[in-house]
Amino acid sequence: MHLVIKFGGTSVGSLERIENAARKVIEKVKEGYKVVVVSSAMAGETDRLINLARHLDNFPPEREVDMLISTGEQQAIALFAITLNKLGYPAVSLCGWQVPIITDHVHTKARVRKVGIQRIKNLLKEGYIPVVAGFQGVTEDWEITTLGRGGSDLSAVVLAHALGADCEIYTDVEGVFTADPRIVPQARKIPRISYEEMLEMASLGAKVMQARSIEFAMKYNVRIHVRSSFSDEEGTWILPEEEVMEKVAVRAITLDTKESRITVVRVPDRPGIAYSIFKALGDAHIVVDMIVQNVSHQGYTDMSFTVNKTDADLAESIVRKVAAEIGAQEVVRDDHVAKISVVGIGMKSSYGTAAKMFEVLYKNNINIMAISTSEIKISCLIDSKYGELAVRELHSAFIEEGEEVKVINET
């Protein structure tokens, strides 16, 4: 049976840790699995490389950024393969283009289009352990791409799908928790979680899994086991909803401090204004998240929205141009915002969650700047200095004191 095992940056953060990871792989090989390893860059390396490029140019050409940041994974896989060979297990490292994992041309956040699996299958047949660089892709015309931050998760899920295998994600926490365990010590490990909830959590700041990897896993039913590379404990299984027995109104609390808020002040309130602003942002491939338009006064209104901090400089400069054209008074940017969310599939069929969330914030004197909801989440934008406090208070209200888990699908 095939198994894809992925190690995150901390798990390969030093030569000792690579050896520890290699021993995990060897255990699985001894159990009879045909293992494919996917490795991230060593902890901190991707950030270091990005900072080098930014030091030279605030908007470096994205093709060159990919050329640079993809090298972190190349170092890690070579060290990993050397370690496995030293321990007596023949291994061959492969870059994304050697697999190949073929993507579109959107540098730094490329989408996977195709994956060739034959070379990996041949290596496995010959008794080698393939060690694949996470995060890396290649276009049809041989340009190197990367799959977005945290993209090694996606590489692993894509390969698991191509091999019809399960996917083990080894990281520096014991699984997916009800909140980031670094912020909330009382957070609990979730034994099984649905793709839908995990996708929402990942999109709302729980960086333990990359959101796009969950989107892909959900589409192709790839089973994922998230666990710690520093223990042998069972972690969290991410599975189709029908295999997750428990349903709770609120499964987890998330915090996202990676967004900035941009406000266009005193824009004329007439048809076409929102279109001019958001069309310009869309043309620049900028993803806009929360949008708030105030009630107008004397024909003028304020329009606020959030974007990823990495896009904020560009978004601000685009919006300043549009604002001048449409006769807005000014553009204000705030980097000190945080989005806190409560997530749970059970919210679909429960009520009172929003009121309870607003009550917790009110009792802690935290002002809400924007709200957005979906069937399975409620998010509030607040001042970032209250972000961690809000997560702890919401966790306490919804999860520690909240209702006990309701078991459904009982037979």
Residues that bind ligand ASP (CB under 6 A): 8-9, 40-41, 46, 72, 134-135, 149-153
Residue with Cβ nearer ligand ASP (73 or 393): 73
Residue with Cβ nearer ligand ASP (71 or 236): 71
Residue with Cβ nearer Mg ion (148 or 150): 150
Residue with Cβ nearer ligand ASP (12 or 193): 12
Given a contact cutoff of 8 angstroms between Cβ atoms, the answer to whether 94 and 77 are in contact is: yes
Window contacting ligand ADP (CB under 6 A); options: 4-12, 121-129, 241-249, 401-409: 4-12
Distances (CA, A) of 54 to 150, 151, 349, 386: 19, 20, 47, 29
Shortest Cβ 187–ligand ADP spacing (Å): 7
Q: Is residue 343 involved in binding ligand ADP (CB under 6 A)?
A: no
Shortest Cβ 136–ligand ASP spacing (Å): 9
Residue with Cβ nearer ligand ASP (7 or 305): 7
Distance CA 148, CA 42 (A): 16
What number of chain residues touch ligand ADP (CB under 6 A)?
Answer: 19
Q: What is the rounded radius of gyration, in angstroms, for the C-alpha atoms of the chain? A: 23
If phi > 0 it is left, if psi is from -120 to 50 it is alpha, else beta; for residue 175 that is left
Q: Which residues pair with 264 in a beta bridge?
A: 303, 331
Q: Is residue 40 involved in binding ligand ADP (CB under 6 A)?
A: yes
Shortest Cβ 84–ligand ASP spacing (Å): 20
Residue with Cβ nearer ligand ADP (177 or 398): 177
Q: Which two tokens stand for residue 375?
A: 């069937």
DSSP 154: H
Residue with Cβ nearer ligand ASP (168 or 393): 168
> Which does residue 46 bind out of ligand ASP, Mg ion, ligand ADP, none, counting CB within 5 to 8 angstroms by kind?
ligand ASP
Q: Is residue 137 involved in binding Mg ion (CB under 5 A)?
A: no
Tokens 């999860």 -> residue: 399
Q: Which two tokens stand for residue 401?
A: 């004191």
Q: Which residues pair with 228 in a beta bridge?
A: 171
Which one of 150, 151, 235, 344 is in contact with Mg ion (CB under 5 A)?
A: 150
What number of chain residues touch Mg ion (CB under 5 A)?
Answer: 2
Q: Which residues contact 410 (CB under 8 A, 6 or more apart)?
A: none
Q: Of 109, 78, 107, 102, give the one whose Cα is nearest residue 91.
A: 78
Q: Is residue 207 involved in binding ligand ADP (CB under 6 A)?
A: yes
> Which does residue 149 bind out of ligand ADP, Mg ion, ligand ASP, none, counting CB within 5 to 8 angstroms by kind?
ligand ASP
Shortest Cβ 24–ligand ADP spacing (Å): 13
Expressed in angstroms, the distance from the first to the final Cα of the chain is: 31
Shortest Cβ 39–Mg ion spacing (Å): 12
Window contacting ligand ADP (CB under 6 A); options: 154-162, 175-183, 259-267, 343-351: 175-183
Given a contact cutoff of 8 angstroms between Cβ atoms, the answer to whether 337 and 382 are in contact is: yes
Q: Give the 3-state DSSP-derived string for 280-309, with helices as H, strands as E and coil as C.
A: HHHHCCCCEEEEEECCCECCEEEEEEEEEH
Binding mask 180-199 for ligand ADP (x = CB under 6 A): xxx-----------------
Q: Which residues pair with 380 in a beta bridge?
A: 340, 371
Tokens 């070379």 -> residue: 119
Q: Which residues bind ligand ADP (CB under 6 A)?
A: 8-11, 40, 150, 171-173, 176-177, 179-182, 206-208, 252
